Amino acid sequence: MQSHAAIARGLTEERPYTKSSPLSLEAVELLAPRAGELLLRIEAVGVCHSDLSVINGSRIRPLPMALGHEAAGIVASVGEGVDDIEVGDHVVLSFVPSCGTCDECQNDRPALCIPAAKVNGTGDLLHGPAVIRDGDGCKVHHHLGVSGFAKHAVVARESVVRIPKDVPMETAALFGCAILTGVGAVINTANVRAGQSIAVFGLGGVGLASVMGGQLVGARTIIAVDPMEEKRNVALELGATAVFHPDEAVEGISKLTEGGVDFAFEAVGVSSVMEVAFQVTNRGGMAVSMGLPHPTQKVTFPALAFAGLGKTFTGSYMGSSVPQRDIPRYIEAWRDGRLPVEKLRTATLPLSEINHAFEELAAGRAIRQILLPHA
């Protein structure tokens, strides 16, 4: 079928993106869904740093690529063998289409699914090669099995989670990445308990979702760190008990916590921030890295901090989540008023404004912008 998608054809750090236009909205052809696949009408898609990382080269992906991975849509057709999803169902996309059978999936770690990592790296789908073609008939790669900056997408059944139809699409999309990653890191990766203390570095969509996660589990102290005052104010609205500019964070956290927090969450993707997050954890504490640094970055930690202080530094990909389990749980928490997801949304724009949205993201002015492909 004919559709439109935003395609990245080259890498650039040239800004503003409103002038360099790293993404072009192009007419594309989608091949029909194969066995195990679905055709979706994309209704809403979030603009995330993981997309920006492809554009600026921090995340190496094959090009050309149709970007976008935090999306929600409506099922338009189903391929052979899909018998648990129907036309008209509302779904949230998961950017790891976990196979369910590899060692990682069998060990309850679907975010680290081995076949999914392979096809996400090559820009293909779980059930076969890419099905997007540009105006010249050439292959366009998929982004994380989603390619949500588009009017339509063909995805693997394993990439979708069915949701209630009364959840607004502009809200539903955020559950696919920001909430799944940020809340998941608090609950699944760190297993934060009521009464414990956390610090969150970087208050974009994922970092603020971690603040919400801390509030959700009853953390006693929730400290939020970001250079932008506006974002620090949002963190306070979401349950942070204290906020700091990065220049004040180490001293401020030390004074507030008498030595450090139980858990620190890094959502920036910068090695120096990772090191600070580790530094401000207390004896026996854990620092959790959620950001995506450039592959050339390295971190340095005092070796004695591990055996001598019992500290841990760990990674969290997709919040160590099980999307089929966690997204419905988080939606229920949102419905109960315990996850005010809408507060993450700073703008709602048509898909044609995508390069403007990326400039706002790169400038640090936006938390989560939602693009509406059919606006």
Token digits of residue 223:
């400290």
One domain, residues 186 and 300: yes
Whether residue 329 lies inside any domain: the answer is no
One domain, residues 311 and 346: no
Tell me which H or E stretch contains 335.
Answer: helix 323-335
* DSSP output for 231-248: HHHHHHHTT-SEEE-HHH
One domain, residues 194 and 149: no
One domain, residues 32 and 172: yes
What pLDDT shows up at residue 265? Answer: 98
One domain, residues 19 and 144: yes
Mean pLDDT of 193-205: 98
Residue indicated by tokens 């993201």: 361
| Nearest-angstrom CA–CA distance, 191 and 282 | 16
* Percentage of the residues of the chain whose pLDDT score is greater than 70: 100
- Supply the mean pLDDT for the chain: 97
Whether residue 192 lies inside any domain: the answer is yes
Mean pLDDT of 104-127: 97
What pLDDT shows up at residue 225? Answer: 98
One domain, residues 253 and 368: no
**pLDDT tens profile 5-49:** 999 999 999 999 999 999 999 999 999 999 999 999 999 999 999
Name the band, by pLDDT with cuts 50, 70 and 90, for residue 65: very high
Contacts of 107 (CB under 8 A, 6+ apart): none
**pLDDT tens profile 238-251:** 999 999 999 999 99
- Beta strand 345-350 with 368-372 is parallel
One domain, residues 292 and 361: no
Whether residue 169 lies inside any domain: the answer is yes
Name the band, by pLDDT with cuts 50, 70 and 90, for residue 315: very high
One domain, residues 66 and 129: yes
One domain, residues 46 and 136: yes
Asked whether residue 161 carries a pLDDT value surpassing 90, the answer given is yes
| Nearest-angstrom CA–CA distance, 120 and 167 | 28
Whether residue 212 lies inside any domain: the answer is yes
One domain, residues 77 and 138: yes
**Torsion from C-alpha of 237, 45, 157, 99, nearest 10 degrees:** -60
Q: At 70, which CATH number?
A: 3.90.180.10
Tell me the chain's radius of gyration from C-alpha atoms.
20
What pLDDT shows up at residue 287? Answer: 98
Number of separate domains in the chain: 2
Asked whether residue 258 carries a pLDDT value surpassing 90, the answer given is no
Whether residue 160 lies inside any domain: the answer is yes
Whether residue 327 lies inside any domain: the answer is no
Token digits of residue 347:
């703008």
Whole-model pTM over 0.95:
yes
Asked whether residue 268 carries a pLDDT value surpassing 90, the answer given is yes
What pLDDT shows up at residue 72? Answer: 98
Mean pLDDT of 347-355: 98
One domain, residues 94 and 148: yes
One domain, residues 148 and 20: yes
**pLDDT tens profile 359-369:** 999 999 999 99
Q: Which domain holds residue 306?
A: 179-317
Whether residue 227 lies inside any domain: the answer is yes
Whether residue 287 lies inside any domain: the answer is yes
What pLDDT shows up at residue 306? Answer: 97
Token digits of residue 68:
């976008």
